[in-house]
Amino acid sequence: MMAERYELAAERIRQIPEEESVRLPFRMYFQEISEFLMMLLTLEKEIEKGDYEKRSMEELKEWNHKLYEDILPENYETSYANPAYAVKMLGKEFGQILSFLYAELRGGIPYIFEEKKEYFTILMELFVEIYNCFEIHRGMDKEDAPEDEGSMLRELKDIIYWYASDYCDVFVADRVLEQMNPEMDFATEIIQTADLTDLRYLYRFGEYVGDNEFRTAEHLQELDKAVIQKMAEVYTEGYRIGFVNTGKDLSKKSVVNIRYVLGFEPVIRQAIRNFEKMGLKPVIYRTGVSVLTKHRQAKIGYYGGTPNPQYEYDHRDDMGLYFNKRFAERKLEVMRHVYEANKELAAGVAGPAVVEVFGERPFVPQVKEEAIHLTQKQEEALLSFTSKSGQMTNEYIKGEERSFTIVSYPIPEIAPDYEEIFDEVIRINTLDSEKYGKVQQTLIDALDKGVAVHITGKGKNKTDLTVKLHELKDSEKETIFENCAADVNIPVGEVFTSPVLEGTNGKLHVTKVYLGGLQYLDLEIDFEDGMVADYNCRNFQKEEDCKKYVADNILHNHKTLPLGEFAIGTNTTAYVAARKFGIEDKLPILIAEKTGPHFAVGDTCYSWSEDIRVYNPNGKEIIAKDNSVSIQRKEDTGKAYVNCHTDITIPYEELGSIQVIQRDGARISLIEDGRFVLSGTEILNEPLEEYQEK
């Protein structure tokens, strides 16, 4: 049946370039997109016959370029994938719908490589159904078009809605299953069996392979095997220690979710072997490529290069064509069914082990009116869905039983001296945890004497923020801050707490910061009793665009968020390395958060696992895990969690002071003028002083 549907849809698409049954300018769109689908049909035959893998490196590069050239920056201005161009050529609503359609069809690229014939058939049928709608309603002559275009638009939106709703059973169901079933092993099989010295293997994934991915793979081949093993060991040991430090039983788990970026396969192969010794099988799934499976703000899974970040930004709200409360309930129903049918698999999931990359050119998106945007009602429905889906995931993959680890490496785009930076990051990722742990305990001993912490900026930095601390009942056995070594967050270097919201007031300001792939200029957030009261940035000329940028990407469209974390980063070695190579604005938050005080808006670091007792290496129990928002979990988890956590760091050079305020009003200085001044922490200044002398 599926083979017959596939052939019927493919044959119909092959006819479209020769037809004139749809009037201009829509005819040009359908002819161009049908040519794209025919290219995928040709690729499918090559892969099926085994011819694709036999091609030379140059031929594979050419194929990869052909698949993605339409959305590359140099071609994007005249691509139907660009909503601005589609709207210009086809009108606003038709342009938005047809640009969405093309973006959804581009998801067919990985389906071809994974030989998911059913998925690709569904896409072809969607294209044909929409083409048929234009055939019926918009004939060759303009006079033949119906007076009321609204009826046609409603029909098109109905087609898209039922595509999304009907195929939840396929796309969403499989998406949930592939996150916990190691037998869905397309990527794992390539990583485990390919000849990684022959870089043609990169083109077997169906991802965009740019200079970053290719040069990363080349560089890893140049490294000694012992270095590769060291990189993998830091990553996998951090994961294991994360379970030990939080008192969670790793032996109960059977699956680890590996997320990474193409080019790191030698490290991932070794990591798989290390995890197997812990009794864990890998689950390695691709980041979502369909509007039904994509995450709105982040890539979750493995992925290749980003051919054009503006393209991804333009289509992040495509769900606005169909998303409503009814669809959200439908999607939750499908998720529940899959989880319920696979309880044992879900219970075995230990959590994600992530290899991130950094160094991309800072991206400030162009906000396009022509792109699809969610309505306020849709935003509210999405927030509700996100909360409920998070609760459901936690029900089957319990937060109190899972952990994670994250490590990050630079990509070649970061700077001409990429190789030297890469080697420096390896050194940073393997710094002495024990040494840092002792210094950090000195900071914690001082912080535990306080009722609040006062943080100020200097120079152009306008930060003036007081963070209220939890009260210790037994200072001999309890502590407020966690002493964070290199386990779940690699590299070493921070102490952190969940602040008391009531009494936390003031302004957080950073002149330039890079969060989640986006750059922010003069980011300001004001807090009243620990909740975001106001915010702004200086990325755009219009203040309304600036506020929306922050609301969309930091507040994730919540009206407000709590200050979920306050931390002091201690990794001055990483800070100096960033200054030395001039890459401060390109550091990932994973490293950046260790290079100064940082503040997270959203959930606490202990979300979904607040009741697990956690201890520092000195045996003291960490008691600051809840706030007045998260504590609502005892009555209604929907009110307790916001399902986001964004760290914002003040770099040392913008830092005036950090002072602990004691109950009697006396103050203990931790940092003054960007330097550690507390007795016992001066060693952290050594990298700073050495760099300044040079």
For residues 512 and 355, the model is more confident at 355
Report the chain's mean pLDDT, rounded to a whole number. 92
- Dihedral of CA atoms 145, 370, 85, 75 in degrees, nearest 10, equals -150
Least confident span in 78-92, 146-160, 591-605: 146-160
- Please give the average per-residue pLDDT across 258-266, as a whole number: 98
Residue type at position 430: T
d(CA 250, CA 241): 10
pLDDT band at 693 (very low <50, low <70, confident <90, very high): low
Query: Which residues, other chains included, contact 176 with Cβ-Cβ below 8 Å and sequence gap of 6+?
Result: 334, 335, 338, 339
Contact assessment for residue 464 and residue 456, using Cβ atoms and an 8 Å cutoff: yes
**Two structure tokens written together for 348:** 């075995």
Query: Which residues is 645 bridged to in the sheet?
Result: 602
Under DSSP, is residue 457 helix (H, G, I), strand (E, B) or coil? strand
Contact assessment for residue 452 and residue 661, using Cβ atoms and an 8 Å cutoff: yes
At residue 557, does pLDDT exceed 90? no
**Two structure tokens written together for 532:** 């975001």
Residue type at position 164: A
What distances in angstroms separate CA 614 from CA 351, 437, 481, 501, 599, one per listed residue? 18, 16, 11, 21, 21
Query: Which residues, other chains included, contact 463 with Cβ-Cβ below 8 Å and sequence gap of 6+?
Result: 455, 456, 457, 506, 507, 508, 509, 510, 650, 654, 656
Contact assessment for residue 144 and residue 25, using Cβ atoms and an 8 Å cutoff: no
d(CA 545, CA 446): 42
Contact assessment for residue 201 and residue 190, using Cβ atoms and an 8 Å cutoff: yes
d(CA 593, CA 22): 55
d(CA 353, CA 665): 44
| SS percent in the chain: helix, strand, coil, step 5 | 50, 20, 35
Q: What pTM does this model have?
A: 0.86
For residues 485 and 430, the model is more confident at 430
DSSP secondary structure code for residue 452 in this structure: E
At residue 137, does pLDDT exceed 90? no
Integer-rounded Cα Rg, in Å, for the chain is 26
Sheet containing strand 450-457, edge to edge, reads: 531-536, 518-528, 500-515, 464-468, 450-457, 655-662, 667-672, 675-676
- Please give the average per-residue pLDDT across 67-87, as a whole number: 98
Span between the terminal Cα atoms of the chain, in Å = 72
Q: What is the pLDDT of residues 347-394, one digit of tens each?
A: 999 999 999 999 988 788 898 999 999 999 999 899 899 889 988 999
b/e for 485-507, b at 16 or more Cβ within 10 A? Answer: bbbbbbbbbbbbbbbbbeebbbb
At residue 138, does pLDDT exceed 70? no
Contact assessment for residue 267 and residue 232, using Cβ atoms and an 8 Å cutoff: yes
Q: What is the pLDDT of residues 668-679, one digit of tens each?
A: 999 999 899 999
- Please give the average per-residue pLDDT across 535-543, as a whole number: 94
